[in-house]
Amino acid sequence: MQEKFFITPEGYAKLENELSFLKTKERPSVIKAIEEARAHGDLSENAEYHAAKEKQGFIEAKIADLESRFARAELIDISKLSGSQVIFGCTVTLQDEEVGKKSVYKIVSDYEASLSNGSISVNSPVAKAMLGRSKGDEIEVNTPGGTKYYHILNIEYK
């Protein structure tokens, strides 16, 4: 049995929309491109045909990946969470102990993670170091640049 895939309601909606777009727009579009390229004759030297087939392979692989995630998805409603420990879905304020810089991260699935939006994957080194920890705890994160130390300033469920 495959592992559950935790996801927020927002991430689930995004997953559903992307899967629908690929199935209803992208797949038919690439099928049409393949048909048009076939009409040009000799497929062995037909660049449009090979490009369309390659794109079709990419789209089908993406659909298969998203369908797998969709089938394993377990929605986590963050508004119903509470507690004093870092878990999936919470928002954590950290302070870098070396430079004093504060950072705020929401812990989400790999699919939803976007550093530019302040969300990190539950599988990232920083999130893994935080999981199960509480406000006031110090965490140690091994990075390619060396070990970093952070202090958990706040944990919110929003």
Q: Where in the chain is the domain with CATH 3.10.50.30?
A: 78-156
The letter for the amino acid at 82 is S
Low-confidence ranges of the chain (pLDDT < 70): 1
Quote the DSSP letter at residue 154: E
For residues 138 and 68, is the Cβ–Cβ distance under 8 A?
A: no
CA separation, residue 6 to residues 12, 92, 113 (Å): 9, 18, 12
Q: What topology does CATH give the domain 78-156?
A: Chitinase A; domain 3 (3.10.50)
Domain with CATH 1.10.287.180 in the chain: 5-75
**pLDDT given for residue 46 in this prediction:** 80
- Tell me, which fold does domain 5-75 have in CATH? Helix Hairpins (1.10.287)
